[in-house]
Amino acid sequence: MNEMSRVATQVANVKLLIDGEFVESKSTQWRDVVNPATQVVLARVPFATADEVDAAVAAAKRAFVTWRKTPIGARARIFLKYQQLIRENMAELAAILTAEQGKTLPDAEGDVFRGLEVVEHAAAIGNLQLGELANNVAGGVDTYTLLQPLGVCAGITPFNFPAMIPLWMFPMAIATGNTFVLKPSEQDPMVTMRLVELALEAGVPKGVLNVVHGGEDVVNAICDHADIKAVSFVGSTRVGTHVYNRASLAGKRVQCMMGAKNHAVVLPDANKEQTLNALVGAAFGAAGQRCMAASTAVLVGDAQAWIPDLVARARTLKVNAGIEPGTDVGPVISCAARERVEGFIGDGVREGATLELDGRKPDVAGYENGNFIGPTIFSGVTPGMRIYDEEIFGPVLVLLTAESLDAAIALINANPNGNGTALFTQSGAAARRFQEEIDVGQVGINVPIPVPVPLFSFTGSRASKLGDLGPYGKQVVMFYTQTKTVTQRWFDDDTLHVGVNTTISLK
């Protein structure tokens, strides 16, 4: 038995949540949850058995019978309480997240806070789940619509936002009257489980929220299960495509938010200081492990002269463990992730890009075993190079050039991904042209990471998204409900008989 395995036997096991109870899995397959800054084992997470997945779904199905009829105000009040509990426990949640995922403490709080915004949105479900009515569509006939819950829904979440993305999913699903089975990332499930504990404390009833852990087998079981009506996924393109195809084939409603290559276009008239700060923060924050990271910058015209300033700004970032004050860039999630990113950097050099700043093997005193990569910048990058064509998912910024805004737009539109893009300029005309002509679902103007607040929906597009409805906002209410249209007529006792009507018209 290796040292890591010996340590693992002394730590707590992450539980499943089935029918309102946190239970020990009977699985024989477990994975260590490892602090990426130290390699210390924090916990063990089970890969749930088929019977345990079935039990979670069965509990959700039983709970749906009564939960769907719970008054909408009662559902809303649970999420009012839930948002209060999240706020009260913010520091604890951020500390757990930092320990298992590696983010800096301020970034971890941001992770929780962006999820909290969706919880607050769920508390307004009374205004969001309204139907429509048309009076007197024919003589004495009214038509109205109801937005009714689907049943048991499920969510599969990634490692990079273990608080925010679960909170994108189960609060809106539950608030709209569904029950839910959640599968968090097996790499960092601890903060998710603490959020689940708080949800139960807020009043989510027995069986309405269930949690199973695992890998591919559990994902497939969720996709195939006949009693699950909808599946929401956020993660890699490879897994997301598999989930979409498999769950769709099983007749489920599916939404998959997947990988991306997000371009930031810099025009020469942009505010230089603000733009440099925005690029550095968006490229290297969270160690580049964001699906919305600005991992690619397109420097237009004279903005190409800004490369030395950009490199100098990136050099000022502090690489360290997330718990250390002043840290800007923490570790990537795992040893395998670090090796993968280092492989990309080596490929970039071999393919002829200019390595302006090399972040491999930074010196991080006291954390020599951590999965650290410092800010890395390549210039002279062109389509066809692996560092441009693939999502690196690490603190690596690649720089391309274009002679005009039109050329930059054509470059971005030729890329298969459409998650997000940004333009830095002081020209309103250029900004308007960019937002009109760019074929990307989420656009920032002088905003490097244009993730919308929950009043709006997350709207990534093209190869970054499968399914036509996005998470949170108005679209997710439609995703988690089905529309029922009722056409009705009532007769008074003394109403004259209208006679037989053999046409399709209403009279």
Task: Give just the sign of the alpha carbon dihedral 483, 484, 487, 490.
Answer: negative
Interatomic CA distance for residues 154 and 288, integer angstroms: 28
Q: Are strands 263-266 and 296-300 parallel, antiparallel or unpaired?
A: parallel
Burial class (CB in 10 A: 0-12, 13-18, 19+), 429: exposed
Joined tokens for residue 328:
């800007």
Q: Which of 294, 291, 179, 187 is nearest to 240 (CA)?
A: 291
Strands 263-266 and 421-424, by their bridges, are parallel
Spot the catalytic one: 153, 223, 256, 291. 291
Strands 21-23, 16-18: pairing kind = antiparallel
Element holding 147 (H helix, E strand): strand 141-149
Residue 263's contacts (CB-CB under 8 Å, 6 or more residues apart) are 294, 296, 297, 298, 408, 411, 412, 415, 421, 422
Q: Report the greatest alpha carbon distance in the chain.
A: 90
Find out whether 360 and 344 touch, Cβ atoms under 8 Å.
Answer: no
In this prediction, residue 5 carries a pLDDT of: 40
DSSP 366: T
Question: What is the helix, strand, coil percentage profile of the chain, to 5?
Answer: 40, 20, 40
Active site residue 223: no
Q: Does the reported pTM lie above 0.85?
A: yes
The residue to which tokens 């002679």 are assigned: 403
Where do the H-state alpha helices sit in 70-209? 72-88, 90-101, 105-122, 125-128, 164-175, 190-202
Residue 225 has what pLDDT? Answer: 98
pLDDT (0 to 100) of residue 155: 98
pLDDT for position 170: 98
pLDDT at 468: 87
**Residue 228 has what DSSP assignment?**
E
Give the pLDDT of residue 344.
98
Tokens representing 120 are 């607050």
Q: Please name the helix (run of DSSP H) or strand (run of DSSP E) that holds residue 444, with its range, or none.
A: strand 443-445
Residue 275 sits at φ, ψ, to 5 deg, of: -70, -45
Q: Which residue has the tokens 């006939």?
A: 141
Collapsing DSSP to helix, strand or coil, 237 comes out as helix
What's the confidence (pLDDT) of residue 366? 97
Task: Give the residue among 138, 95, 94, 139 at the shortest CA–CA distance from 115.
Answer: 94
Structure tokens at 200: 């139960």
Q: Which of 462, 464, 450, 396 is nearest to 422 (CA)?
A: 450
431 neighbors 445 (Cβ within 8 angstroms): yes
Please report how the helices 105-122 and 72-88 are oriented relative to each other, as an axis angle in degrees rounded to 10.
170
Token pair recorded at residue 128: 């969001």
Residue in the block written with tokens 């689907």? 150
Burial of 407 (0-12, 13-18, 19+ CB in 10 A): middle
CA 19, 152, 240, 193 dihedral sign is negative
Q: Report the amino acid identity of residue 283.
A: A
Distances (CA, A) of 466 to 50, 66, 159, 248, 274: 27, 32, 20, 11, 34
SS3 125: helix
Q: Does residue 175 contact residue 162 with C-beta atoms inside 8 Å?
A: no
pLDDT at 8: 42
**pLDDT averaged over consecutive 10-residue blocks of the chain (507 residues)?**
43 97 98 98 98 98 98 97 98 98 98 98 95 93 97 98 98 98 98 98 98 98 98 97 97 95 97 98 97 97 98 98 98 98 98 98 97 98 98 98 98 95 98 98 96 92 93 94 96 68 74
In 10 A of CB 404, how many CB atoms? 11
Alpha carbon 464 to its chain centroid, in Å, reads 12
Tell me how far CA of residue 152 lies from CA of 62, 226, 243, 247, 410, in angstroms: 9, 10, 17, 14, 43
Residue at token pair 């477990």:
30
CB 426 within 8 A of CB 270: yes
Tokens read off for 357:
């700043």
Q: If DSSP codes are grouped into helix, strand and coil, which group holds residue 300?
A: strand
Neighbours of 304 (CB within 10 A): 17
Burial of 282 (0-12, 13-18, 19+ CB in 10 A): buried
